[in-house]
Amino acid sequence: MEYAAIDLHSRRSQIRIVDAEGTVVLDCRIDTTRAAFASTFGARASMRILLEASTEAEWVAQCLEGLGHTVVIGDPNYTLMYGQRSRRIKTDKRDAAALAEACRCGIYRPTHRVSTVQWRERQRQTVRFQLVRQRTALINLTRALLRQEGHRLPSGAPECMEARLDRLALSTTVLAILTPLRRTMRALNTTLRSIDRAIEARAQGDPIVRLLMTAPGVGPVVALNFRAVLDDPARFGGEAQRVAAFIGVVPRENSSAERRHKGRITKVGPATLRSLLVQASWAVCRSHRADTAALRAWAQSLAARRGKRIAIVALARRLARMLFAMWRDGTPFRPVMRATVAA
C-alpha cells in the first residue's frame, strides 16, 4: 500500500507519495485544482492521504475521496506529526516529507470532519456575520460623519437607522453625503431580513435547534451556530467542560505545585460562536423573565466580586456547558434544576 501527504496551499501544493517501506514514489508540486488532483491520484490504487487542516482541506479531501482514496485531515497542533522537522529550515518539501512519514507510520491526530449539512450551515452563518459587520461599520461611519457636523445619532435598532436620521435637522449637503450610506444600509437590511427569515425556517425544522432555543438568551442564530460548530456531541466524550475549552471561554492557567494562577480566557476555537454566547449572556442579564432569575442572580453575585465583564464571560461559559448538556441529554432548559449547577 502507498501513503501520501499533501502540503496544501491556495495555488500550488507539494505532493509526496511513499510505499510501505518509506521509499519515495513521487515528489512533485501541482496546482491546487480538482483537475490536477485527478491527474495525479486518479489512476493510482487506493491509498491513505494525510492533509493538514486548512481552508482548502475539506474540498480537497472530498475530491480525493471521490477518487477512491482514504483521506485524513490532521490536526496541525499535534507536533509529533512533524517528526524531527526543524522550524529553522522550513520548506514545503520538508513539510510534505514529514507528513508522508507520519501518514505511513500513523503518527497523526485526525480532526473532526464536519457533516456536509452543518458545513453548509457554517458557511451561511459566516455570510450573515460578515453582512452584520458591514452594517455595523456603516452605522459607525454615519455616527462619525454626523459628529463632525455637531449632530449625534440616537441609539436604536440598526433597522431603524434611517428613521432616526430623518429626525435630525441636517443640511442638504450632509444629506447628499449620507445618501450612498443610506442606500447601502437599506440594501443590507433587506438582505439580512431575507436571511433571518430563512434562519428562522431552518431553526424550526431542526429538533435539536428547537431544543437549544428553550434556553434563555438563545435564539435561532445562536442555536444554529452552536449546532453547526459542535456538529456531533459525541466527539467531546459527553464532557461539557471540553466544549467550553473548545469554544475558548475557559481561562488560561499557569500553575505549578501549590501556586495557582488563572488569566484571561484562551479565545481559541470559533470566534463567532464565542461572540454570540457573550451576546446571549448580555441578553440574559438584561432580561426580566422569571426563567432567567437564577442565572441573573448568579451573574450579579459574581459581578459584585469580579466585575461585570468577567461575570458576562463566565455566564457565556456556563451557557455553553448548559447547551451542550441539553443536547447530550435531549432535555429542554429547566431553570430550577439548572440554578444549582456550579459555575
What is residue 336's predicted lDDT score, i.e. its pLDDT?
Answer: 58
Instruction: Enumerate residues 6+ apart whose C-beta is below 8 A from 212.
Output: 218, 222, 223, 226, 227, 323, 326, 327
What is residue 84's predicted lDDT score, i.e. its pLDDT?
Answer: 63
Q: Beta strands of 19-110 (E only): which ranges?
A: 24-31, 48-52, 70-74
What is residue 257's predicted lDDT score, i.e. its pLDDT?
Answer: 72
What is residue 43's predicted lDDT score, i.e. its pLDDT?
Answer: 93
What is residue 248's predicted lDDT score, i.e. its pLDDT?
Answer: 94
What is the C-alpha separation between 11 and 86, in angstroms, rounded? 25
DSSP β-bridge partners for residue 24: 18
Q: Do 203 and 224 touch, CB atoms closer than 8 A?
A: yes
Which secondary structure element, helix H or strand E, spans residue 94, and what is its range?
Answer: helix 92-105
Strand pairing report for 48-52 and 70-74: parallel
CATH annotation of 3-105: 3.30.420.40
What is the C-alpha separation between 204 and 210, in angstroms, rounded? 6
CB atoms within 10 A of CB 58: 17
Phi then psi for residue 202, to 5 deg, are -65, -40
What is residue 342's predicted lDDT score, i.e. its pLDDT?
Answer: 46
**Residue written as grid cell 463566565:** 314
Smallest Cα–Cα separation from 212: which of 298, 146, 276, 262? Answer: 276
Give the CA distances from residue 247 to residues 50, 203, 213, 264, in Å, rounded to whole numbers and listed in that order: 26, 21, 19, 14
Domain boundaries, the chain: 3-105, 116-204, 208-338
Helix ranges, 206-270 (H): 207-212, 220-230, 240-247
**Residue written as grid cell 492557567:** 253
What is residue 48's predicted lDDT score, i.e. its pLDDT?
Answer: 97
Please tell me whether residue 126 adopts helix, strand or coil conformation: helix
**Residue written as grid cell 487506493:** 46
What is the C-alpha separation between 249 and 245, in angstroms, rounded? 6
Instruction: Enumerate residues 6+ apart whose C-beta is below 8 A from 144.
Output: none
Instruction: Enumerate residues 6+ apart whose C-beta is below 8 A from 267.
Output: 248, 274
Q: What is the pLDDT along the chain (343 residues), one digit of tens a residue?
A: 999 999 999 999 999 999 999 999 999 999 999 999 999 999 999 999 999 999 999 999 999 999 999 999 999 988 889 876 556 778 899 999 999 999 999 999 999 999 999 999 999 999 999 999 999 999 999 999 999 999 999 999 999 999 999 999 999 999 999 999 999 999 999 999 999 999 999 999 999 999 999 999 999 999 999 999 999 999 999 999 999 999 999 988 777 777 777 778 899 889 999 999 999 999 999 999 888 999 999 999 999 999 999 999 999 999 999 999 999 999 999 885 444 444 4
What is the C-alpha separation between 47 and 324, in angstroms, rounded? 37
